[in-house]
A and B are shown apart, each in its own frame.
Chain A
Amino acid sequence: MVLFTIAIIILAVILLAVAVYAVMQKDLLFATIATGIISLILSVMFFLLQAPDVALTEAAIGIALTTIIFVITIRNTSRREDEVRITEESQAAEIDKKIKAKI
């Protein structure tokens, strides 16, 4: 009982820390791996809470398949969160800034 309590408390703290990292990280590939780690820790917690069916399902679907569809989406869009698209308006704004800096 004491061992069970210690395991669940440690896993809960690690879970919250990894979730905060997944939301704050600007590089999207790292955030995806963090989501996979959340699924892994959640699967272990489900096993400790005596639910083996749910642990199997979360392990099979959450770790492998969710991570791979996120990576495929990152491959087809951008990798970093703060990417700026170069358009005519942003180029005009940059030229405006340079003219104002020179004046």
Chain B
Amino acid sequence: MKKVLVLLLLVVVGYSLYVPLSQIEFGTDRMGSIENPTTVGAYYLSKTPSELSVANVITAIVVNYRGFDTLGEVSVLFLAATGIGSILYRRRKEGEHSETISKPSSQLLQAGAKLIYPAILVLGAYVFIHGHLTPGGGFQGGAIIATGFLLMMMSYKDFHMNHTVLTWVESLAGITFVGVGIGGLIVGTTFLENFMPVGTLNDLFSGGIIPIIYVAVGFKVAAELAGVLDTLLSIKEN
């Protein structure tokens, strides 16, 4: 009986989702011209290379035009990491670390992981430093760095993250983000206003506060995700 009702619900939901969508023509230009912008997308596309001198429009939207949402997203990630740490809390003695893996991994994995781990860290740092020039940014670079740490944690039994260092890095990166925003308030305009000088297009030091914020976000996301993975891997089984 329940299955029949659920299938009926799925048919109703599918019909009411698909019929309005099929009226939308796929791929037609709803944005309008860039020179005289009438929609939000066209406005962002026209203002970004001239006012901000940033090549990646999505970075400009995420950090500058909708920067407050990025602050909210970073705090949601922080809350998730704290929540995981508090849900899986087990009282453990001083200095005792549970093992992440029970048997040591093979020789091939150990040698390969040690070789590739610095390359992954450098790639992640490259991605979040050049976030305003190429596709990339803080979240992508932070996730790549966390994957590098995960590779080392799964290959070696005694590779652990130092939770004190992670907490310090995370807090300092968060303070940098909010501090740069308050700097906009001190200068006299709004929160998270772009008050530093913008350079020329496609330069490394262009875009005002955008590279600074993305570097801070990259460090914060990397520290948070590495902490979450370390907490999850060290769960002691009964």
On A, residues with C-beta under 8 Å from B are: 52-53, 55-57, 60-61, 64-65, 68-69, 72, 75-76
Contact in complex: B58, A53 (CB < 8 Å): yes
Known interface pairs A53-B59, A53-B137, A60-B140; 4 further A-B residue pairs with C-beta atoms within 8 A, sorted by A's residue number: A56-B127, A65-B143, A75-B237, A76-B237
Cβ A52 vs Cβ B225 within 8 A: no
Q: State the interface size on chain B (CB cutoff 8 A).
A: 20
Tell me the minimal C-beta distance from B206 to chain A in angstroms: 18
Contact B56 A68 (CB under 8 A): no
| A57 CA to B128 CA, complexed, in Å | 12
Main secondary structure of the interface of A (DSSP, over half): helix
B144 near A68: Cβ-Cβ < 8 Å: no
Chain B hits for A65, CB < 8 A: 143, 146-147, 150, 225, 229
Contacts of A72 in B (CB 8 A): 232-233, 235
Binding site for A on B (CB under 8 A): 56, 58-59, 127, 135-137, 139-140, 143-144, 146-147, 150, 225, 229, 232-233, 235, 237
- Alpha-carbon gap, A12 to B233, bound state (A): 35
Q: B135 contacts A64, CB within 8 Å?
A: no
A47: nearest chain-B partner, CB-CB = B135
* Contact residue among A52, A75, A76 (Cβ-Cβ distance under 8 Å from B135): A52
The interface centre, meaning the residue of A52, A53, A57, A76 with most chain B CB atoms within 10 A of its CB, is: A53
Distance in angstroms between the alpha carbons of A55 and B235 in the assembled complex:
32
User: Given A53-B56, A53-B136, A64-B150, does the pair A76, B235 have CB atoms closer than 8 Å?
Assistant: yes
Contact B143 A60 (CB under 8 A): yes
Contact A57 B233 (CB under 8 A): no
A56-B150 contact given A65-B225, A76-B237, CB 8 Å threshold: no
Q: Please pick, from A56, A60, A69, the residue contacting B147 in the complex, using a CB distance under 8 A.
A: A60
- Residues on A with beta carbons closer than 8 Å to the beta carbon of B136: 53, 56
Judge whether B143 and A61 touch: CB under 8 Å.
yes
Q: Which residue of A lies closest to B135 (CB)?
A: A52
A56 to B58, CA, bound (A): 13
Enumerate the 7 nearest inter-chain pairs by beta-carbon distance, A residue then B residue, closest first.
A60-B143, A52-B135, A56-B140, A53-B135, A64-B147, A53-B58, A72-B232
> Which of A60, A64, A72 has the most chain B CB atoms closer than 10 A to its own CB?
A60
Complex Cα spacing A57 to B62, Å: 13
B144 — which chain A residues lie within 8 A by C-beta? 60
Report yes or no: A56 in contact with B146, Cβ–Cβ below 8 A: no
Quick one: closest A residue to B139, CB to CB?
Answer: A57
6 contacts between A and B (CB under 8 A): A53-B56, A53-B58, A53-B137, A55-B135, A65-B229, A76-B235
Chain A residues with CB below 8 A from B58, complex form: 53
